[in-house]
Structure 1
């Protein structure tokens, strides 16, 4: 089973979905905004990938936080922020055969599905 997590209108998600389709790979797409996000999934994913890797500090949502919020980010506050603002999660997150991958590079996906 393969699931791709992200936000539908994200350019990186569009590239990842196009790659999966072009390579005839069946997958489920989970849109954080439409399908929701729960604490259990977020905590399980964080245990595998780590909150530092998951937190998108380059995105608009993170940059709009106060300096105090940005400086005080730890695991618990990062998870709370990602739950409240799913756009703060780096995209995509791919789960394939119970392995977790983050980001999209065609070479990486080719290796995952080889």
Structure 2
């Protein structure tokens, strides 16, 4: 059996539902984790940040939690503070947040990126 993809998702997020439908259509095994109840750990987020390169890519800039904090506050955070904030509030994280068995990460759902990352 192929290693499982871990999808941190939010049930009311339409983008998450599209991503899960894409995984189903392409016959992938995956585990869904409610990002609001069990956000990724600070360690997992640090790995994602390392792989993705831009901290801003991890933030759900259109969400209520982000707007409540304010872009200026987020921008003024150092990396450690930003990772702590993301780990503490799953709603701050861009969804879906996907941990691949390879150690890579996908953030958000863009079919072109997913095709490239998962279908080669």
TM-score (norm 2): 0.77
Matched length: 114
SS of equivalent to 1:3:
strand
Q: What's 1:92 paired with?
A: 96
Given candidates 2, 21, 27, the residue that maps to 1:18 is 21
Cα separation, partners in 2 of 1:68 and 1:103, compared to 1, 3 Å: closer
Q: What's 2:118 paired with?
A: 113
Distance (whole Å) between structure 2 residues aligned to residue 101 and residue 77 of structure 1? 22
Distance (whole Å) between structure 2 residues aligned to residue 5 and residue 17 of structure 1? 11
Cα separation, partners in 2 of 1:4 and 1:58, compared to 1, 3 Å: same
TM-score (norm 1): 0.81
The runs of at least 4 consecutive aligned structure 1 residues that moved more than 4 Å come to: none
Are 1:34 and 2:7 matched, yes or no? no
Consecutive unaligned residues of structure 1, counting only runs of 5 or more, are none
